[in-house]
Amino acid sequence: MTIFNPNTLVEITQQFGTPAWVYDAATIRQQIKQLRDFDVIRFAQKACSNTHILRLMREEGVMVDAVSAGEIERSLVAGYSNSDNPESIVFTADLIDRETIELVIQHDIPVNIGSMDMLHRIAEVAPHHSVWIRVNPGFGHGHSEKTNTGGPNSKHGISLEDLPQTVALIQQYGLDLIGIHMHIGSGSDLEHLSQACQAMVGIVKLANVDIRAISTGGGLPIPYSSHEDKLDTMTFFRLWNDARKEIESHLGHSVKLEVEPGRYLVGNAGALLAEVHCLKSTAEHNFVLIDAGFNDLLRPSMYGSYHKIEAVHQYSNQQGLESISNALEYAVAGPLCESGDVFTQDASGVICHQILDNPKVGDLLVFNDAGAYGASMSSNYNSRPLAPEILIDDGQCRLIRKRQSINDLVALEMV
Ligand code: PLP
């Protein structure tokens, strides 16, 4: 069942149209609360980078991770400032371009380095800059192979073989090493995340250098279906805290423990809303065609991800609207001129079905648990404008991003 009140969703679409994204602030705050034992919660904003969501995070004392110059600018707009708190923003990447080097220097933003080339470039212009080392522990795990960020097939991080040389370079350049970071993948599970914390102890010993902090990275899973459990955050913290204590006794002083979730903070807090425009049956499928496509929500087409879909009968009192009688299971697809524009598909692209309650043309479909990697992965494919975003906080619905217009799109081409 959706976390949102269906009447509120209908009101939102009447005011802002469809497709539209909606977020629940209370759910985000609740998720943050589950991780309060960590010294620093750092939001991986790539999951949902709207500046109003970032502001909410900042007000809750959550720090932020940025992976591009654009994400740094968003953090600044949201009021994060490393001169107020040097831990506010960290920049994580495997390469750094000239524009971003200028930004991190100007705003004193530590760089979480994923390659030795980054070190050379930073040291050239800012020899005492603060850095983290992002280590690839030699294994990884995500909800899809595409979100596995460790092991020999991953482009991310410093390999264990390169770690001693990386540390030597940092010392030689006189860079300020804050800590060691590890992110094994997005949407992982407790089993693999606990392997990561065991690996961290060995990596700190292998690095053989003093550090002030360690970061678990992100990857904390959320339930997308009723068969999936919520993450046991107490166990997750205990495992990492044990690793931290071992590192502290090795180094002989206290060490800060950071966690860097994206999906966990916002995934269950958001939904995509779309209107049914067409019902169409083939020999194999009852298709429900809606006004959102993979340009809006990419995860099903990209990874075969499951989002629980529900119908809200916003016009159910109206007569004469189409429905497919006797159907129970439906394939849900978008408006794009692309056969892969189907929200109910598995990772190999085979079309699947979901049970929907008699959807009719004009009804609203709610895609649940779409708060992470939803709006932030949207595109303008087929020249479709970005959908608006609405935040529900304390009973109030607030527009936090306007709908893009076609004029906005073509304006860039007026050259
Ligand atoms: N940190 C880094 C460096 C990442 O690349 C990612 C996403 O892949 C995250 C954190 C957040 O991952 P998740 O949203 O699964 O928590």
pLDDT in single tens digits along all 415 residues of the chain: 899 999 999 999 999 999 999 999 999 999 999 999 999 999 999 999 999 999 999 999 999 999 999 999 999 999 999 999 999 999 999 999 999 999 999 999 999 999 999 999 999 999 899 999 999 998 788 888 888 888 788 889 999 999 999 999 999 999 999 999 999 888 888 888 888 999 999 999 999 999 999 999 999 999 999 999 999 999 999 999 999 999 999 999 999 999 999 999 999 999 999 999 999 999 999 999 999 999 999 999 999 999 999 999 975 555 555 666 667 899 999 999 999 999 999 999 999 999 999 999 999 999 999 999 999 999 999 999 999 999 999 999 999 999 999 999 999 999 9
Question: Quick one: which of 365, 340, 338, 360 has its CA closest to 351?
Answer: 340
CA-CA-CA-CA torsion sign (291, 293, 299, 304): positive
- Provide the 10 A C-beta neighbour count for residue 85: 12
Active site residues: 337
Query: For residue 188, what pLDDT is reported?
Result: 81
Using DSSP's 3-state secondary structure scheme, residue 189 falls into: coil
Partners of residue 91 on adjacent β-strands: 66, 111
Query: For residue 141, what pLDDT is reported?
Result: 84
- Provide the 10 A C-beta neighbour count for residue 250: 11
- Provide the 10 A C-beta neighbour count for residue 30: 13
Alpha carbon of 107 to ligand 1 centroid (Å)? 23
Length of the chain: 415
CA distance 54 to 143: 25
Pocket of ligand 1 (CB under 6 A): 44, 46-47, 65, 92, 149, 183, 186-187, 217-220, 260-264, 372
- Residue 102: partners with Cβ closer than 8 Å, 6 or more residues away: none
CA distance 111 to 132: 6
Q: Which of 189, 224, 231, 260 to mutate to test the pocket of ligand 1 (most atoms within 8 A of CB)?
A: 260
Alpha carbon of 260 to ligand 1 centroid (Å)? 7
Alpha carbon of 227 to ligand 1 centroid (Å)? 24
DSSP 8-state assignment for residue 46: G
**pTM value > 0.75:** yes
Q: Which of 40, 43, 46, 158 to mutate to test the pocket of ligand 1 (most atoms within 8 A of CB)?
A: 46
User: Which ligand 1 atom is nearest residue 134's CA?
Assistant: 3
For 346-389, the DSSP string reads: -TT--B--EE-S---TT-EEEE-S-SSSSGGG---GGGPPPPPE
Partners of residue 113 on adjacent β-strands: 93, 133
Q: Which of 35, 134, 186 to mutate to test the pocket of ligand 1 (most atoms within 8 A of CB)?
A: 186
- Identify whether the C-beta of residue 122 lies closer than 8 Å to the C-beta of residue 96: yes
- The pair phi, psi for residue 178, each rounded to 5°, is -85, -50
Helix ranges (H only) for 174-232 are 190-207
Query: For residue 201, what pLDDT is reported?
Result: 97
Rounded to the nearest 5 percent, the helix, strand and coil shares of the chain are 35, 20, 45
User: Residue 252: exposed, middle, or buried by beta-carbon count in 10 A (0-12, 13-18, 19+)?
Assistant: exposed
Query: For residue 325, what pLDDT is reported?
Result: 65
> Cα 163–169–175 angle (5° rounding)?
110
Residue 386 CA from chain centroid, whole number: 18
- Identify whether the C-beta of residue 244 lies closer than 8 Å to the C-beta of residue 200: no
Query: For residue 334, what pLDDT is reported?
Result: 98
Using DSSP's 3-state secondary structure scheme, residue 206 falls into: helix
Q: Which amino acid is at 230?
A: K
Structure tokens at 7: 């009447």
Alpha carbon of 183 to ligand 1 centroid (Å)? 7
- Identify whether the C-beta of residue 215 lies closer than 8 Å to the C-beta of residue 260: yes
- Cα dihedral 121, 122, 126, 129, rounded to 10, equals -160
CA distances from 108 to 92, 287, 330, 349 (A): 14, 52, 52, 45
- Identify whether the C-beta of residue 154 lies closer than 8 Å to the C-beta of residue 146: no
Question: Quick one: which of 60, 65, 58, 61 has its CA closest to 79?
Answer: 58
Q: Can you state the angle between helices 25-33 and 51-59, rounded to 10 degrees? A: 40
